[in-house]
């Protein structure tokens, strides 16, 4: 099974503020949905709770929430107390590619513990004020492929580039 990470990151590594998204990029959201559809998605509790309630759990995906809270409940979700347990659940159930979807602490942990095989990163080509950041990573350890370049338009207010990074063998 491939363990992938998917994230949108500003030039200054900001990914969020006040437990929410900073930008609205419908084309990137469509990419996120198409890429993760019919797969297991793994998210931290705070990130899960930041998703507007009407969209939770994310449709047509198996949602796994990782939390240290022993009695945590989220309707329609699997709950695990570690990222490794969440990945193991996806693997045990025959998943081919599971997706780590955030937030900041989860991204930090999966990168520090070398749990990710590839990353889909939307590089939002602006700087933003925020309080949640994507960790720095050594780009020399990843093969990079540009999947999409999008110039701002009436619906997507910022330029962005979606890249896929595969871990070097």
User: Can you give the CATH number for the domain in which 46 is found?
Assistant: 3.40.430.10
Is position 119 within any domain?
yes
Is position 6 within any domain?
yes
- Residues 9, 126 contacting (CB under 8 angstroms): no
Is position 151 within any domain?
no
Which uninterrupted H or E stretch holds 87? helix 83-92
Q: What is the pLDDT of residue 20?
A: 86
pLDDT above 80: residue 169: no
Is position 145 within any domain?
no
Q: What is the pLDDT of residue 19?
A: 87
Q: How far is CA 152 from CA 9, 23, 81, 159, in A?
A: 16, 12, 40, 5
The residue range of the domain holding 34 is 2-138
* Omega within 30 of 0 (cis) for the link into 57: yes
- 97 forms beta bridges with 2
Using a 10 angstrom Cβ sphere, with 0-12 exposed, 13-18 middle and 19 or more buried, the burial of residue 86 is buried
Whole-structure pTM value: 0.96
Q: How far apart are CA 111 and CA 139, in angstroms?
A: 12
Is position 100 within any domain?
yes
Is position 159 within any domain?
no
Q: How many structural domains comprise the chain? A: 1
- In tens, the pLDDT along 7-45 reads 999 999 999 999 888 999 999 999 999 999 999 999 999
- In tens, the pLDDT along 85-112 reads 999 999 999 999 999 999 999 999 999 9
Q: How far apart are CA 163 and CA 149, in angstroms?
A: 9
Is position 163 within any domain?
no
Q: What is the mean pLDDT of residues 130-142?
A: 95
Q: How far apart are CA 103 and CA 50, in angstroms?
A: 10
Is position 75 within any domain?
yes
């Amino acid at each position: 099974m491939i363990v992938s990470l998917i994230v949108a990151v500003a030039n200054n590594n900001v990914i969020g503020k006040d437990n929410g998204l900073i930008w609205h990029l419908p084309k990137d959201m469509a990419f996120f949905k198409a890429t993760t559809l019919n797969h297991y998605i793994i998210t931290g509790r705070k990130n899960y709770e930041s998703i507007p309630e009407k969209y939770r759990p994310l449709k047509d995906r198996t949602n796994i929430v990782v939390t240290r809270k022993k009695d945590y409940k989220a309707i329609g979700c699997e709950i695990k107390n570690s990222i490794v347990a969440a990945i193991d659940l996806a693997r045990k159930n025959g998943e081919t590619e599971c997706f780590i979807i955030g937030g900041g602490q989860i991204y930090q942990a999966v990168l520090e513990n070398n749990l990710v095989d590839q990353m889909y990163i939307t590089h939002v080509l602006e700087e933003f004020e925020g309080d949640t950041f994507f960790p720095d990573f050594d780009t020399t350890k990843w093969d990079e492929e540009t999947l999409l370049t999008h110039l701002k338009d009436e619906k997507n207010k910022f330029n962005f580039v979606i890249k896929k990074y595969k871990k070097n063998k």
